[in-house]
Structure 1
């Protein structure tokens, strides 16, 4: 059940990001101003909350990315991606991170998430978990 809820949560986030990207690319100036006023504070607060969880501890390790057996030194990949997208923009060299969430920047958002699901597995543009056998 947690896996299904997790997939629903991830799909909702991808859908929201796709919607905002579509608005940024297609909306008129007046609509863009309205969206920016409502969404930019939410997005910046979201970034702040996520980055707070990845602040280095007293040893310089990321408490969120570190495990009991493997310590992740700061800056972790979350801080690196934040810097790349929020500060460096298109000027930062593109590194390939070994993370499943890393999206191919050259592909469209809906094309970068692996193989195409069957029609029975889709809702909107996002794949849902394959049907789970009931007990």
Structure 2
């Protein structure tokens, strides 16, 4: 059986190296080369991000199956309303303000209990 680190370590290194190479290439390129690089690489980056977010698609209750902690699954604990880490990181990196994405929830109107003047209750 393979150790997790023997697979994950080189994979992380490879992905980080590829991203560093892309960033360096953009810094060194002139406008025309940068446009060619963008036309070639942006679709690949978009597909990579979509594939990552697809694995974090929420279940029927709106919870991310990847970000859920193991203890909450095993102990059936009620989870708080926290966003999926992958979607949160993507949203923060891509830019628009969080107010554009998250709509405030309507507050429930509760009737105040008033003291009843009726002898029945």
Give me the TM-score of the superposition, normalised by structure 2. 0.65
Counterpart for residue 20 of structure 1: 22
Counterpart for residue 51 of structure 2: 49
- Where structure 2 has 5 or more consecutive residues not aligned to the other structure, the ranges are 73-78, 99-121
Greater Rg over alpha carbons, structure: 2
- Tell me the CA shift for residue 8 of structure 1: 1.0
Aligned residues of 1:56 and 1:62 also touching (Cα < 8 A):
yes
- Map 1:84-123 → 2, pairs under 5 A: 84-88=92-96
Find the residue that maps to 1:18 and give its secondary structure. helix
Q: 1:30-80: per-residue Cα shift (whole Å, max 9, x none)?
A: 111111111111100011111111121111110111134225755211111
Find the residue that maps to 1:19 and give its secondary structure. helix
- Where structure 1 has 5 or more consecutive residues not aligned to the other structure, the ranges are 93-135
Between 1 and 2, higher relative CO (CA 8 Å, sep ≥ 6) is seen in 1
Distance 1:73 1:53 in 2: 19
Aligned residues of 1:60 and 1:74 also touching (Cα < 8 A):
no
More helix by share: 2
Aligned residues of 1:24 and 1:32 also touching (Cα < 8 A):
yes
User: What RMSD in Å do the two structures reach over aligned CA positions?
Assistant: 2.1
- Tell me the CA shift for residue 4 of structure 1: 2.2
Counterpart for residue 83 of structure 2: 75
Distance 2:22 2:85 in 1: 24
Give me the TM-score of the superposition, normalised by structure 1. 0.59
Find the residue that maps to 2:42 and give its secondary structure. helix
